[in-house]
Structure 1
Amino acid sequence: MKLKNLVSILLVIVMSGLLIYGYKLYNKTFVSNTSFNEREVYITIPTNSTHEDIKKILTPYVKDFDQLDAVFQQVSFEQSYIPGRFLLKKGMSNYDLIQALKYNVPVKLTFNNQETIEKLVSRISFQIEPDSIALMNVFLEPEFLEENNFTKEDVLSMFIPNTYEFYWNTTPLKVRNQMHKEYTRFWNEERRTKAEKLGLTPTEVITLASIVQKETAKVDERPKVAGAYLNRLEKGMLLQADPTVVYSKKLLSNDFDQIIKRVYLKDLKLDSPYNTYMYKDLPPGPIAMPDISSVDAVLNPEKHNYIFFCASVERMGYHEFAENLAQHNVNRDKYSAWLDKNNIQ
């Protein structure tokens, strides 16, 4: 009888111990352990992160990292950290957190209207793990440029503005390969045929499209502007595009953040291969990253006899077009007077 009582007591003690252990284990594993107020947050874990690195990254987002760490140890998770971008949700338990750290969430990589390859890589590196230097080295790799008929001046034309999906910890080479793949897909047979009929290569089309886009923000006016520029090229005239003067001014001063509202006569003499008042034909490369509407405007230009155009003071954002210099001078003088009246420097 005494032995049975002893066994019963021992069983009670064991069961109690198991219940306590189970309760602690449950709390440690399945009770909320997040400390942020937002509904969800994204964190990034760099390549080759150590367990100590993970602690520094996660500590701001969990109530008790030691508790989370204990679960890490139990499942040997520290042996299988994966780099990338991960989604944490408010109220997640340690179990949920560990599961979340197994699923790398892609980044929606976006860029548009970048004026130089340097500004582009800066924009891209802000969104994914590789830095600007690593991206620049891959984008400007001599063998790649030569194989694909690009130069360091026109390689910006390879990047079609859009939204792309990449893992945060993707490599520079994967980014370049995907961008080139999208470029090849964009330049399908129909677009290439249209470019050939204009006597232009795809990179030349994009270069002209960048000028058209900088010339007018009005999408519906771009085919008309493109037609005027193509008329000049056909006649062997200088393009005399003010946006190329603005670009030259920024390039020579190495300041692409400055805002230039007005082009003066002295600016037209800036000695830069991008200055189409000084140098004939198209500049060496695009002066910005044109969007698809600008590229298609060049490929599908409006047919007309206009050679000149000037910003309109009556239809803001649009231009007044002219077939001859006399009419253009009237339009230009009207616009210059408006600039002076409004003290636009």
Structure 2
Amino acid sequence: MRKKNFIAIFLVVFTMMLSSFAFYTYQILYTPNVLIEEDDRYFAIPKGTTFKQLQNKLAEERIVNELVSFSFLAKLKDLDTQVKAGMYLIKGDMTNLELINLLRSGSQTPIKLTFSNARLLNQLPKILTYGLAIDSADLATILLHDTTAQYYGFNKETFISMFIPNTYEVYWTSTPKGLLDRMKAEYDRFWNEERLQKAKNLNMTPAQVSTLASIVLGETNKMDEAPTIAGVYINRLQRRIPLQADPTLVFAIGDFSIRRILNKDKEFDSPYNTYKNRGLPPGPINLPSIPALNAVLNYEDHNYLYFCAKADFSGYHAFAKTLTEHNKNARKFQRALNMERIYR
């Protein structure tokens, strides 16, 4: 009788323990264990992170609710021996199993890299590495090296044109070389057969189109008139008339606060001085936008040879076919500058 009672008690206890273990196992595997309330959240694992550091990071950033169960299952699935660097998108209510499988897989979520403007090549390292694990100094070392521009098919004056302003999806752990390779691939994708043919019709290389587009962008932020401005410069190039573009003088002088070009500025000795030198300058004077590039490739065909900022400071320009008409427009703008006490 005692033996039967013992067996019965044992079976009850064993069943309870088995149920408890099964329930705990179910909780470990399938019960949500991620704390975040929002729909998703980026979680960065830097290169060289140890499993202990990963545990601490998950706790400090309040990602995991119950760290013991996560750590237990993570070790069973060998996450402790294969922590993979990257940027991961963690969703609310993920289970331990889902989170561990994500981190083990190394399936990073691309992040958006957006850049739109820069005047100088040496400004790009900081701009391009924003939000990435790359140190801007490491990118600068490669980007500004004497041989890098040539490696990608440019020279030091035209190299900035390889970077087409846009929004790109890149991996947080991208390397400096990998990022530059990606930018070259995007450049090649932008310069498709149709755009290359349009550049050829202008007797220009893509780098020359970028140079002219940078001047157009330097003249206006009103993209609805950009093709008209591009048309003026193309007319002057075709007639071998100096471009006389004020933004190129500002670039040459290196003082980007200048709002008014003076006659003495036009004597500044520089290959970027388009008052003294015919044709295009050696390279872009800023990072030309896609709308500016398209404005050159799809320029407005007209007979204008001159333009001047309107006296109402609207940002738009008055266009002229003759020098006499242009001088009238210029005097109006100069009077407006004087009234506003803008002398430089």
Structure 1 residue 194 displacement after superposition:
3.1
The counterpart of 1:74, out of the listed 73, 76, 81, is 76
Q: Which residue of 1 aligns with 2:227?
A: 223
Partner SS state of residue 225, structure 2: helix
Structure 1 residue 268 displacement after superposition:
4.1
- Mapped to 1, the partners of 2:192 and 2:29 lie a distance apart of 54
Q: Which residue of 2 aligns with 1:92?
A: 94
- Mapped to 1, the partners of 2:203 and 2:302 lie a distance apart of 18
Q: TM-score, normalised by structure 2?
A: 0.86
Q: Which residue of 1 aligns with 2:47?
A: 47
- Long gaps (5+) in structure 1: none
- Mapped to 1, the partners of 2:52 and 2:259 lie a distance apart of 52
Partner SS state of residue 92, structure 1: coil
Partner SS state of residue 109, structure 1: strand
Q: Summarize the Cα distance change of 1:188–1:12 in structure 2 as closer, same or farther, 3 Å threshold.
A: same
Q: Contact 2:152–2:184 (CA<8 Å) still a contact in 1?
A: no
In the alignment, residue 314 of structure 2 is paired with which amino acid?
Answer: M
Q: Which residue of 1 aligns with 2:279?
A: 281
- Mapped to 2, the partners of 1:343 and 1:38 lie a distance apart of 52
Q: TM-score, normalised by structure 1?
A: 0.86
Q: Summarize the Cα distance change of 1:316–1:70 in structure 2 as closer, same or farther, 3 Å threshold.
A: same
Query: Matches of residues 1-345 of structure 1 in structure 2 within 5 Å?
Result: 1-59=1-59, 60-61=61-62, 62-101=64-103, 102=105, 103-140=107-144, 142-249=146-253, 252=254, 260-314=258-312, 316-344=314-342
- Mapped to 2, the partners of 1:186 and 1:150 lie a distance apart of 16
In the alignment, residue 310 of structure 1 is paired with which amino acid?
Answer: C
- Mapped to 2, the partners of 1:246 and 1:36 lie a distance apart of 50
The two structures, once aligned, show a CA RMSD in angstroms of: 2.7
Q: Contact 2:215–2:247 (CA<8 Å) still a contact in 1?
A: yes
- Mapped to 2, the partners of 1:268 and 1:131 lie a distance apart of 40
The percentage of aligned residue pairs carrying the same residue is: 40
Structure 1 residue 311 displacement after superposition:
0.7
Structure 1 residue 125 displacement after superposition:
0.7
Structure 1 residue 319 displacement after superposition:
0.8
Q: Contact 1:212–1:225 (CA<8 Å) still a contact in 2?
A: yes
- Mapped to 2, the partners of 1:275 and 1:129 lie a distance apart of 39
Structure 1 residue 279 displacement after superposition:
4.2
In the alignment, residue 290 of structure 1 is paired with which amino acid?
Answer: P
In the alignment, residue 302 of structure 1 is paired with which amino acid?
Answer: E
Q: Contact 1:138–1:176 (CA<8 Å) still a contact in 2?
A: no
- Mapped to 2, the partners of 1:129 and 1:206 lie a distance apart of 30
Count of matched residue positions in the alignment of Structure 1 and Structure 2 = 339
Q: Contact 1:106–1:166 (CA<8 Å) still a contact in 2?
A: yes
- Mapped to 2, the partners of 1:175 and 1:159 lie a distance apart of 11
Structure 1 residue 301 displacement after superposition:
2.5
Q: Contact 2:51–2:79 (CA<8 Å) still a contact in 1?
A: no
Structure 1 residue 123 displacement after superposition:
1.9
- Long gaps (5+) in structure 2: none
Structure 1 residue 150 displacement after superposition:
0.5
Partner SS state of residue 220, structure 1: coil
